[in-house]
Structure 1
């Protein structure tokens, strides 16, 4: 019998355990790196930079009224005998609205006519006396030449002649006076018929038949007529803090409690300078023109209006919480480096000025002058960046001067930012430098374009600048940006940021 043999085990390669240990070590290192990165990301609350529209409005209240309202009164006193119109009636110019009893003025006319006839009779008598005086004077003058009458008789005849002529002139004046008095009575009698001075709609009626009106001191108000209710207006009370943003031509939308399901529109027609102070609150009247072709709106309605002062489309914006974040260790946070980040940057001063110039519809000569000035400005920015002020996307330096706000890396509470006087000086220096750089371009503009350019330049240079903190790879970096329009929840920003960047809004509480 042959001996049974035991099965032999396969030898395990010696390098397998080594590979297992290496794999476990690599996995542990990967897990630790991911945990560390996740911990860095999770330590901060962030909000992304988004691209969208920002609509800035000013809210105000006001009252609807007709564009032109005419108050019809009475120039004469008397008793109302007839009222021919009522509330809401449509009237035409010259249409009879009411009548006043004309009996008093009719009597005055008859009396005046009688006085005129009396004055005419007195004139005829004076003219007869004048003819007699002329004949008497002629006779005595002829007799005096023959020395048949005394010279004194001639003088008396001359005096009588002059008196007769004066009597004639007095009688003529009496006729004119009585005629004028009678004409006044006729006019007053015509005024007893109250007519509409314009085409319109009766808003109010203050009289009834049988009522007596007295026009001794001032004309009593009988009717109020709205000239054309197809065109209306709103007088808004705008707070002094907002009035600087309101301009003629801005769009207005408004609602009224009478029509909750509708939103109406209008246009700013006038910004009045007559300020009103109520309980130490200063407001300015702003007149808004409203089209009421369908007749829906009624005079006297209270409206809640929104004046659109800015409508920025397709801009970069960030939640306002990111602008309020102020880290305690701001001095230790590095500044963003030029060209860093997740996407190409832009939106600086140069980009804003280029966009403003594009909107001005420049001709070839003006565009060439602008391009030359813009190239000069960009060269100045590039020359300034090696000095440590890069990464501001055109908003950091211009011609070697700071663009306002602290340089990158400076704490938000730095003296350059906290001192308004320093900020004002910086902005003024920037404005002077920009005006010098773009002087040749400005000289090619007409008056309207020049005014538009100066407004754009002032708004761009005077814009508020702050530092926000972008999160890159779990670390924060300081990014100076320029603020634009804000709707209360988000604010337009321009600088070295791009859509999708994560901006720090606060720190998360440490997990226990």
Structure 2
């Protein structure tokens, strides 16, 4: 074929016509397309190096800075503010008077209650005097009762004597004696009735005394209540601290009919603060008491504050169908930079791995576009490696550091037909690309993705694949593509571990530090190559999966 090409060029040179030049160029382009159009060079791939580093998974949350102890000072009585003894940012001590209400009404109530007490005490004295009088009357009546009893007995004895002497005495004398006896008996009965009446009056006097004493107690209680209202018109600070807010002015009327109005808000000690963080229910399982946390506030950009989680509350908060749990973070505020009410952007580290092999998440999502010849070559190579591993297992187990065979290797599965494959760039690709939130597009020669344009990139940690758990762990075997020293690509199986959404820990597999992994594929030189199924039954991504060029139709 080379000899024919030389003859053809010689003929064109002899004629030296424009048509010949055009034909020559067309032939050269066609020959180049025939020889190299079905091969992908190493420059078509975007690569990164396998390195050792630290993988840290963080939970992001927001919260509010607040004092450890905050007291709202209110008024228990209604009235008009007459005097204020504290203002914003005022330092106050416990028991210090911070406000006074107009005491005129309360003082009048105290005076009225005191008069009622005096009146009730006078009633008690009157009741006691009445009891003494009734006791004296009772004694007099009892003496009179005794006199009438003697007279009755004497009159009855006289009647009996006259009856014995009725033959001597006249009937008139006997009748007179009988009448006197009857009168004596009547006087005795009258005296007895008077004794009962005086005793009843004495009991009534005692009841009046008890009633008067109860009135005294009631009047004293009313006096005490009026005195308390008068005392509550003087408002004092319940704690040592600083006034955070003042809600009233002199002359303002406060009404405490239903609830106590808040006059001041006092924070106990601003050198010790708390951050009340709202933790999403998806992350709360990773949070525990004693974890260190860091946060920043908008007032001091670039500065980070640290604290420790002291409490994870069980009470759930639901807002717009989002369930969160409150975590309390204790923070030292010796520099007095933090102020109550600041919004804190919180980062809570929940897992960390130091000095581990890491690969970019884009490498785990990458799937190359292979021609049928390349697929066949890779299929044969993987079949050979499967047979070697099978022989090693039969000889006594897998050698240390050798990756476990995948289900495709063990069963020798053939790739699914192209018609059954999902076309590149479809939404279903997200199941393979993972939850890192970083779907790359339009990469062109970057190393490890530092200058790559990404969509949905988030600082929050997330699993790099759909199979990872909430802690950023990726335990299942995954396949990555490595650029070998001969500038060819081959798949390697790895066991992924912790991920922070950008890089993933490699816990095992056929990969080493310094290996070159592929994270994307340029569109240049591949536009004429149709996406084809890989030799492992995996659907082809559009233009290099999550780390390559723009998917078809974009």
- What's the TM-score bracket when you normalise by the shorter of the two chains? 0.5 to 0.7
Q: Is it true that 1:156 corresponds to 2:204 in the alignment? A: no
Equivalent residue number for residue 468 of structure 1: 479
Alignment check: 8 A CA contact 1:412 1:467 kept? no
The root-mean-square deviation of aligned C-alpha atoms, in Å, is 4.0
Shift of 1:396: 5.7
Please give the secondary structure, in 2, of the residue aligned with 1:270. Answer: strand
The residue aligned with 1:501 is 515
1:165 aligns with 2:206: yes
Q: 1:191 aligns with which of 217, 221, 232?
A: 232
Structure 1: stretches of 5+ with no match in the other structure: 1-37, 342-383, 398-404, 419-457
1:334 is paired with a residue of what secondary structure? helix
Matched, 1:288 2:329: yes
The answer on whether the counterparts of 1:79 and 1:101 sit within 8 Å (CA) in structure 2 is yes
2:296 to 252, 255, 260: 255
Cα distance change on mapping 1:480 and 1:413 into 2, 3 Å:
farther
Query: Aligned residue for 1:205?
Result: 246
Q: Which residue of 2 aligns with 1:375?
A: none
Q: Structure 2 CA distance, aligned partners of 1:73 and 1:232?
A: 23
Distance 1:489 1:144, change over 3 A: same
1:197 CA drift (Å): 0.5
Q: Residue 58 of structure 1 contacts residue 242 of structure 1 at CA under 8 Å; is this kept in 2?
A: yes
Give me the whole-angstrom Cα distance separating, in 2, the residues matched to 1:336 and 1:390. Answer: 16
SS in 2 for 1:313: strand
**TM-score, with length taken from structure 1:** 0.65
- State the distance in 1 between where 2:415 and 2:241 align: 63
Q: Is the 8 A contact 1:250 1:267 kept in 2?
A: yes
Q: What secondary structure, in the 3-state scheme, does the structure 1 residue paired with 2:315 have?
A: coil
Larger Rg: 2
Match of 1:80 in 2: 81
Question: Mapping of 1:174-323 within 5 angstroms?
Answer: 174-323=215-364
Structure 2 SS opposite 1:97: strand
Provide the secondary structure at the position in 1 that maps to 2:258.
coil
Tell whether the 8 Å contact from 1:470 to 1:501 is kept in structure 2 after alignment.
no
Instruction: Look up the match of 1:334.
Output: 382
Distance 1:310 1:412 in 2: 39
Q: Distance in 2 between matches of 1:225 and 1:245?
A: 35
Aligned pair in 2 of structure 1 residues 481, 245: CA closer, same or farther (>3 Å)? Answer: same
| Distance in 2 (alpha carbons) for counterparts of 1:178 and 1:124 | 15
How far residue 293 of structure 1 moved from its aligned partner, in angstroms, is 0.9
Per-residue CA deviation, residues 15-37 of structure 1 (Å, 9 max, x unaligned), is xxxxxxxxxxxxxxxxxxxxxxx
How many residue pairs were aligned? 385
Rounded to whole Å, the distance in 1 between the matches of 2:64 and 2:126 is 70
Q: Where does residue 64 of structure 2 map in the other structure?
A: 63
Residues in 1 aligned to 2:520 and 2:281: alpha-carbon distance in whole angstroms: 34
When residues 324 and 412 of structure 1 are mapped into structure 2, their CA distance, relative to the original with a 3 A threshold, is farther
Contact 1:336 1:391 in 2 (8 A): no
Separation in 2 of the partners of 1:240 and 1:210?
49
| Alpha-carbon distance in structure 1 between the residues aligned to 2:518 and 2:276 | 44
1-structure distance, mates of 2:194, 2:380: 128
Matches within 5 A, 1:4-19: none
Q: TM-score, normalised by structure 2?
A: 0.61
The residue aligned with 1:489 is 502
Moved more, 217-226 or 239-248: 239-248
* Inter-partner Cα distance in structure 2 for 1:413 and 1:68: 66
Return the offset for 1:52: 1.1
Shift of 1:470: 5.8
Structure 2: how far apart are the matches of 1:499 and 1:90? 61
In structure 1, distance between residues paired with 2:327 and 2:124: 65
- Residue 255 and residue 413 in structure 1: after superposition, are their counterparts in 2 closer, same or farther (change >3 A)? farther
In the alignment, is the contact (CA less than 8 A) between 2:363 and 2:481 conserved in 1?
no
The Cα shift of 1:181 comes to 0.8
- 392 and 193 in structure 1: CA distance in 2 versus 1, 3 angstrom threshold: farther
For 2:115, the equivalent position in structure 1 comes to 114
Once the two structures are superposed, what CA deviation does each residue of 1:13-70 show, in whole Å capped at 9, x if it has no partner? xxxxxxxxxxxxxxxxxxxxxxxxx999778654333211112222222222212211
Q: Residues 406 and 412 of structure 1 are in contact (CA less than 8 Å); yes or no, is this contact kept in structure 2?
A: no
Question: Shift of the alpha carbon at 1:295?
Answer: 0.7
Cα offset, 1:476, TM superposition: 2.5
